[in-house]
């Protein structure tokens, strides 16, 4: 990486992907600038890491233009709550324009939602990217804006790990630490694939160093199939006590969504989360080689230790 880029700017850096990518890049000797709207949050998240800090809103073209000055790779790691999903294509457009003006490469940290609804497994880059609800279409639109601008788009499975705050796997782990049953969407025996966020950002740093990555999307592999039932066993082994799983069928979650704001916001996505998912990362492997994934036992233990720190 250090050979290809003089300075990398991560926009939306205060989330888990931004934090782990900044650590990975600085560890490889690449100078990094971190950007998000809140200077205070940036200073807290990156204390002692030796990165440059700049506060800017990615919806503000002038501010973002200044924030990316002197950088030759712009990373979009922005995450948005459900009620602001329509900002994804907007920030993507501002970021594409800022990178073009600077003559910088672009990379977007995205998810697999652009491929929903799933038509076949495992999902790879040839899977249809059509249909789906408004949230899915907005994610796809943002990816398309950046692909057209020549970006590398990395499509992550749902992730978990240190620094993660919002995810369908992190939340049950937080509940387990609090001594509550882990809530689970749908059947506890449906296998779904997740990625440990440090693994994902190591692969993203590897990929960014390849010229051939730009203008294409890449499915990022996780650690293989995991069921809710197995997650409860792994959490129980690490915590040294029984961890119960509270699996809820879709009809019950829809009912609960009437009273829970968080669940209501996520409810268009619920049916997709009750189905199996797996990924084929052959395209990524061709460029960066075989990916080392942390086994779930180890990754869940590390996440629980971080949650109980």
Question: Binding residues for ligand NAP, per CB under 6 A?
Answer: 11-12, 14-18, 36-38, 41, 57-59, 77-80, 91, 109-111, 156, 158-159, 166-167
155 touches 144 (CB < 8 A): no
- Say what the alpha-carbon torsion angle 226, 228, 234, 239 is, to the nearest 10 degrees: 150
Would you say 177 or 195 has its CB closer to ligand NAP?
A: 195
Q: How far is the CB of 87 from ligand NAP (least distance, A)?
A: 6
Compute the distance between CA of residue 307 and CA of residue 309 in angstroms, rounded to an integer: 6
Would you say 75 or 243 has its CB closer to ligand NAP?
A: 75
Would you say 63 or 257 has its CB closer to ligand NAP?
A: 63
Give strand ranges (E) for 211-276.
217-219, 225-226, 245-248
For the CA atoms of the chain, what is the radius of gyration? 19
Written as six digits, the tokens of 274 are 């009750």
Would you say 16 or 214 has its CB closer to ligand NAP?
A: 16
Would you say 225 or 237 has its CB closer to ligand NAP?
A: 225
Would you say 98 or 304 has its CB closer to ligand NAP?
A: 98
Q: Which residue is nearest to ligand NAP (CB)?
A: 79
Q: How far is the CB of 242 from ligand NAP (least distance, A)?
A: 26
Compute the distance between CA of residue 287 and CA of residue 303 in angstroms, rounded to an integer: 29
DSSP letters spanning 106-154: EEEEEESGGGPSP-SSSB-TTS------HHHHHHHHHHHHHHHTT-EEE
Written as six digits, the tokens of 125 are 């880059």
């Amino acid at each position: 990486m250090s050979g290809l880029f003089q300075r990398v700017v991560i926009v939306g850096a205060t989330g888990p992907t931004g934090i782990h990518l900044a650590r990975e890049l600085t560890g490889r000797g690449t100078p990094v600038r971190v950007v998000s709207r809140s200077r205070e949050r940036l200073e807290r998240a990156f204390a002692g890491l030796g990165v440059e800090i700049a506060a800017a809103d990615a919806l503000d073209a002038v501010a973002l233009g200044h924030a990316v000055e002197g950088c030759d790779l712009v990373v979009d790691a922005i995450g948005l709550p459900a009620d602001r999903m329509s900002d994804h294509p907007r920030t993507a457009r501002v970021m594409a324009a800022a990178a073009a003006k600077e003559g910088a490469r672009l990379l977007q940290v995205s998810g697999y939602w652009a491929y929903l609804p799933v038509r076949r497994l495992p999902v790879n880059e040839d899977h249809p990217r059509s249909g789906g609800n408004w949230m899915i279409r907005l994610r796809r639109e943002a990816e398309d804006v950046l692909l057209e601008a020549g970006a590398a788009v990395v499509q992550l499975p749902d992730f978990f790990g240190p620094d993660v705050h919002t995810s369908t796997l992190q939340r049950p782990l937080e509940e387990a630490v609090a001594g509550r049953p882990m809530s689970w969407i749908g059947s506890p025996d449906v296998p779904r694939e997740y990625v440990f966020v440090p693994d994902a950002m190591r692969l993203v740093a590897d990929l960014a160093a390849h010229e051939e990555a730009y203008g294409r999307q890449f499915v990022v592999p996780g650690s293989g199939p995991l069921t809710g039932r197995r997650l409860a066993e792994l959490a129980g082994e690490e915590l040294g006590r029984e961890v119960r799983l509270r699996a809820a069928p879709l009809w019950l979650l829809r009912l609960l969504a009437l009273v829970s704001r968080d669940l209501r916001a996520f409810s268009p996505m619920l049916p997709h989360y009750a189905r199996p998912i797996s990924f084929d990362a052959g395209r990524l492997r061709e460029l960066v080689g075989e990916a080392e994934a942390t086994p779930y036992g180890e990754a869940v233990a590390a996440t629980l230790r971080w949650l109980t720190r």
